[in-house]
A and B are shown apart, each in its own frame.
Chain A
Amino acid sequence: MKSDTFWRYATLAPAVILFVLLTILPLFNLLALSFHDVEWLNREAVWEWVGGRNYAKLPEDTLFNAGILNTIIFAVLAVAFQMVLGFWLALMTTRVTRLRVFYRAVFILPILVPGIIIGAIWKLMYSYDFGVINQAVVLFGGNPVDWLGNPRLALMSVIIVDVWHWTPFCFLLMLASLESLPQDIFEAAEIDGASKGQVLRYIILPLMMPAIIVTFIFRMILAFKVFDEIYLLTGGGPGTSTEVISFTIYRRFFTEDQSGYGSAMSLATIAVIATMIILASRFATKKGPDA
């Protein structure tokens, strides 16, 4: 019995050690750094203890506040659209009998394109002077629209790109789940005379809820980490209209070389985002099949 316990711990140990080395220690390092300012003099890093000053500065930081707010707006709107579109596309694809493989391939195409290329494609498409979207607008008699330079439109424009990029992810998970649903329930519903709307409301949605929740959590986590689309399309501007928190941290930590303050910002962000994701997951779980 004792030997069993020993082997259990022994086999688990490498994974635990790796986890501690790669996750817990860097977090502690970040925590220590967040209470210091670091300056370089004569090739030496000089750590100066500043207590909670770095945390106290956060509420006054325009970029941090805008970053948190925009990230939440971005994540909620982008993921909502992706979930609905992904589910709808998956539903349509299962009902198609001809060219199903072709549709699947087309729908998953955007997720295969690297972020840098997506940025270049959409930046060109959104271009005020040369973009295909404005060419179409002008063709139909409208005036060119400043998609990325207008503070009121810029965040929406970036959300559209994200929806285009990540809807296939939701589509794939939903499709896999839809195709694995037991067929006899649908046959029974058909015999009982259930309409398509009733089948969707009372059979498909409840049965798919676990997959929907998992997809939602994955996407929310990824959406909160958005960086490349913002970096490539707007650089956080105009003003703070597309500033997202990962970009703010990157600026403060690396471009401005404020490693202490950047660490405090990172930890505060981890706390905010973890809380939000836990709350969102609990809400989604409560609304799940057992609710």
Chain B
Amino acid sequence: MIKTHLLGERLRFAGLLAGTAMAAALAAPALAEEAPITIVINQSPWFPGFQAVVELYEETTGNAVELDVNPFAGSLEKQRTAVRTDESPFDLLIMNAGFYVEFYKGGFMQPLQEIDPAFELSEDIYDFDESVCYDATAGTVTCEGDGKLMAVPVNPNILILHYRADLYEEKGLEVPKTWDELFANAQMFNDPPKMYGISQRGHRGAFDVTYDVFPYIWSHGGGIFADQKAGDYTITINSPETLAGMETYLKLANEVGHPSTAGQTQTNVIQNMATGKAVHIQSVLAPGLFDDPNQSAVVNKVNYAATPASKDFPGATPLGHWLAGVPRNVPDDRKAAALAFLTWFQTEEAQEAYARAGSAPVSRAVLEGPMSETQEFRWMKAMADAIPTARATFLIPEASQVLAVTELRFNEAIGGQMELKDALNTAAKEIARIMADAGYDAPMLEELK
């Protein structure tokens, strides 16, 4: 009796052990195959989506990823410091469209196929005007010839027109395709301070107001330089076309815009839409935010479209996208681990999860796939429409110096501290000085009268 009892107890104990072991095996996360990595990244409206994807990667693979999150300018400074030391504490740099060229040109980034010759950019992933490649011999951003794959895009970050679909429906309005149509629509709703026809970012920062005026000046045939890709650095910021673009921006700001446009940050602009104070905004996408009842008063009321055009030129949106690259100065095992993350990040599973977490994916297949037909992901169509019109903003390592000029002068013109023509002429002279100091041939146009 005692023996039977003991045997039964032993069997039960053994069964319990086996069961526990099996349960533990099933419940435990996958064993890490790669070294832990650290990613330096900025705090942006799309960051929560990236964070969610990183968590999914950790759960799925067992590999550990630490995120070092900073303000926009702080992230840039940390990246510069990291690549200039003997060993970078960061294994992946999330570089912005305005500054990645200085990392390529400085020789800080490892071509990805030097880490693993089999690594490729998936066919479904956009190359964003070839910004993922660099030809070090020619010193140009290109995937042709000797251009090598340097990075993988992690966020498309382009400006998209956001509008209040419910109000449009009430008034029976069409989605604006030109700035004139946008102005007319905005005028119908403008009733400050209760409601603004449009809220635009005019704040002076590291890459704030300059980024937001690009759709206006490009869609009027203007720009800051004539054609950086072709090596033509003629300064066109004071061209009649750029002037026309800025006049359109100012017309919207002064007549149907926010009274404090010069002081509006990206956060303010998004906040104005989320609280129902703005009928239109041009912003990078934060779709998860507007449909979240805890953060938005306009749930399911916002719709999206590509940025408008002018009568003479098509619409164009600036690439403010983010690229993930591996610095040269990290140990090989961490380079391999960083590449493993980038390989996984390009999969459809990761890209879909990224979209579900509220950020825009960089995969054409996802942006144009079945998800885009649903109400929740209605923004995907606008994004897919706009990406082909997206253009690189700066292809020179001196971008941050040029930006310091344009941020100030555009902001002064918007805030009324300087006449628009004076601001553009002054900016042209200041940019010419920067370019001359850096050894470029950058002729100036005649001054605007």
Q: Which residues of A contact B (CB under 8 A)?
A: 40-43, 45, 62-63, 128-130, 143-144, 146, 148-151, 154, 234-241, 251-252, 254-258
If A146-B260, A149-B262, A255-B400 touch, whether A239 touches B415 (CB-CB below 8 Å) is: yes
User: Which residues between 169 and 226 of chain B lie within 8 Å of chain A, taking CB atoms?
Assistant: 193, 203-206
Task: State whether B204 touches A146 (Cβ < 8 A).
Answer: no
Task: State whether A129 touches B193 (Cβ < 8 A).
Answer: yes
Task: State whether B206 touches A146 (Cβ < 8 A).
Answer: no
Closest Cβ of chain A: how far from B405's Cβ, in Å?
9
If A45-B84, A144-B193 touch, whether A238 touches B415 (CB-CB below 8 Å) is: yes
Task: State whether A238 touches B329 (Cβ < 8 A).
Answer: no
The listed residue (A41, A234, A238, A252) touching B417 by CB distance below 8 A is A238
Instruction: Give the top 3 A-B pairs by smallest Cβ distance, nearest first.
Output: A149-B263, A149-B260, A237-B204
Task: State whether B264 touches A149 (Cβ < 8 A).
Answer: yes
If A238-B262, A238-B263, A239-B417 touch, whether A129 touches B412 (CB-CB below 8 Å) is: no
Question: In the complex, what distance in Å separates the CA atom of A167 from the CA atom of B16?
Answer: 68
Interface of A is mostly: loop
Question: In the complex, what distance in Å separates the CA atom of A251 from the CA atom of B72?
Answer: 13
Task: State whether B272 touches A237 (Cβ < 8 A).
Answer: no
Residues of B within 8 A of A146 (CB): 259-260, 263
Residues of B within 8 A of A63 (CB): 404, 408
- Is B143 an interface position by the 8 A CB rule? no
Closest Cβ of chain A: how far from B434's Cβ, in Å?
10
Residues of A within 8 A of B205 (CB): 235
If A41-B106, A239-B204 touch, whether A128 touches B417 (CB-CB below 8 Å) is: no
Residues of B within 8 A of A40 (CB): 84, 102, 106-108
Residues of A within 8 A of B108 (CB): 40, 43
- Is B77 an interface position by the 8 A CB rule? yes
Task: State whether A239 touches B412 (Cβ < 8 A).
Answer: yes
Question: In the complex, what distance in Å separates the CA atom of A263 from the CA atom of B272?
Answer: 40
Question: In the complex, what distance in Å separates the CA atom of A217 from the CA atom of B411?
Answer: 36
Closest Cβ of chain A: how far from B83's Cβ, in Å?
7
Task: State whether A237 touches B193 (Cβ < 8 A).
Answer: no
Q: Which residues of B contact A (CB under 8 A)?
A: 73, 76-77, 80, 83-84, 102, 105-108, 193, 203-206, 258-264, 271-272, 275, 277, 328-329, 400-401, 404, 408, 411-412, 415-418
Task: State whether B206 touches A255 (Cβ < 8 A).
Answer: yes
Residues of B within 8 A of A238 (CB): 204, 262-263, 411-412, 415, 417
Question: In the complex, what distance in Å separates the CA atom of A213 from the CA atom of B205?
Answer: 38
Question: In the complex, what distance in Å separates the CA atom of A227 from the CA atom of B328?
Answer: 34
The residue on B at minimum CB distance from A240 is B408
Residues of B within 8 A of A239 (CB): 204, 262, 408, 411-412, 415, 417-418
Question: In the complex, what distance in Å separates the CA atom of A144 from the CA atom of B77?
Answer: 37
Instruction: Beyond A43-B108, A252-B404, A255-B206, list 14 extra A-B contacts (CB 8 Å).
Output: A40-B106, A42-B106, A43-B328, A45-B84, A62-B408, A129-B193, A149-B262, A150-B260, A151-B262, A151-B417, A237-B204, A240-B408, A256-B404, A257-B400
Question: In the complex, what distance in Å separates the CA atom of A144 from the CA atom of B205?
Answer: 24
Residues of B within 8 A of A62 (CB): 408
Residues of B within 8 A of A128 (CB): 193, 258-260, 263
* Most chain B CB inside 10 Å of its own CB: which residue of A128, A129, A148, A240: A129
Closest Cβ of chain A: how far from B85's Cβ, in Å?
10
Task: State whether B260 touches A255 (Cβ < 8 A).
Answer: no
Question: In the complex, what distance in Å separates the CA atom of A62 from the CA atom of B411?
Answer: 14
Task: State whether A42 touches B408 (Cβ < 8 A).
Answer: no
Closest Cβ of chain B: how far from A96's Cβ, in Å?
41
Q: List 21 A-B contacts (CB under 8 A).
A: A40-B102, A128-B193, A128-B258, A128-B260, A129-B193, A129-B272, A144-B259, A149-B415, A151-B416, A151-B417, A154-B263, A235-B204, A235-B205, A236-B204, A238-B262, A238-B411, A240-B417, A254-B77, A255-B76, A257-B80, A258-B401
The residue on B at minimum CB distance from A234 is B263
Closest Cβ of chain B: how far from A152's Cβ, in Å?
10
Question: In the complex, what distance in Å separates the CA atom of A238 from the CA atom of B415?
Answer: 7
Residues of A within 8 A of B416 (CB): 151
* Most chain A CB inside 10 Å of its own CB: which residue of B108, B205, B260, B261: B260
The listed residue (A43, A256, A257, A258) touching B107 by CB distance below 8 A is A43
Question: In the complex, what distance in Å separates the CA atom of A118 from the CA atom of B206?
Answer: 22
Closest Cβ of chain B: how far from A66's Cβ, in Å?
9
Residues of A within 8 A of B262 (CB): 149, 151, 237-239
Residues of A within 8 A of B259 (CB): 128, 144, 146
Residues of A within 8 A of B206 (CB): 255
If A40-B106, A43-B108 touch, whether A237 touches B404 (CB-CB below 8 Å) is: no
Closest Cβ of chain B: how far from A200's Cβ, in Å?
43
Question: In the complex, what distance in Å separates the CA atom of A241 from the CA atom of B328?
Answer: 42
Question: In the complex, what distance in Å separates the CA atom of A183 from the CA atom of B154?
Answer: 71
Residues of B within 8 A of A241 (CB): 417
Closest Cβ of chain A: how far from B7's Cβ, in Å?
66
Residues of A within 8 A of B76 (CB): 255
Question: In the complex, what distance in Å separates the CA atom of A235 from the CA atom of B408?
Answer: 11
Residues of A within 8 A of B193 (CB): 128-129, 143-144
* Most chain B CB inside 10 Å of its own CB: which residue of A42, A146, A150, A239: A239
The listed residue (B203, B401, B412) touching A235 by CB distance below 8 A is B203
The listed residue (A42, A129, A151, A236) touching B415 by CB distance below 8 A is A151
Question: In the complex, what distance in Å separates the CA atom of A44 from the CA atom of B102?
Answer: 13
The residue on B at minimum CB distance from A60 is B433
* Most chain A CB inside 10 Å of its own CB: which residue of B77, B264, B271, B415: B415
Residues of B within 8 A of A151 (CB): 262, 415-417
If A129-B277, A239-B204, A239-B408 touch, whether A43 touches B263 (CB-CB below 8 Å) is: no
* Most chain A CB inside 10 Å of its own CB: which residue of B83, B263, B401, B411: B263
Question: In the complex, what distance in Å separates the CA atom of A199 from the CA atom of B157?
Answer: 67
Question: In the complex, what distance in Å separates the CA atom of A63 from the CA atom of B204?
Answer: 13
If A129-B193, A235-B203, A238-B415 touch, whether A256 touches B400 (CB-CB below 8 Å) is: yes
Closest Cβ of chain A: how far from B261's Cβ, in Å?
8
If A129-B272, A146-B260 touch, whether A237 touches B106 (CB-CB below 8 Å) is: no
Task: State whether A237 touches B107 (Cβ < 8 A).
Answer: no
Question: In the complex, what distance in Å separates the CA atom of A91 from the CA atom of B204?
Answer: 43
The residue on A at minimum CB distance from B108 is A43
The residue on A at minimum CB distance from B260 is A149
Question: In the complex, what distance in Å separates the CA atom of A229 from the CA atom of B346?
Answer: 41
Residues of B within 8 A of A257 (CB): 80, 102, 400
Question: In the complex, what distance in Å separates the CA atom of A129 from the CA atom of B205?
Answer: 21
Task: State whether B106 touches A43 (Cβ < 8 A).
Answer: yes
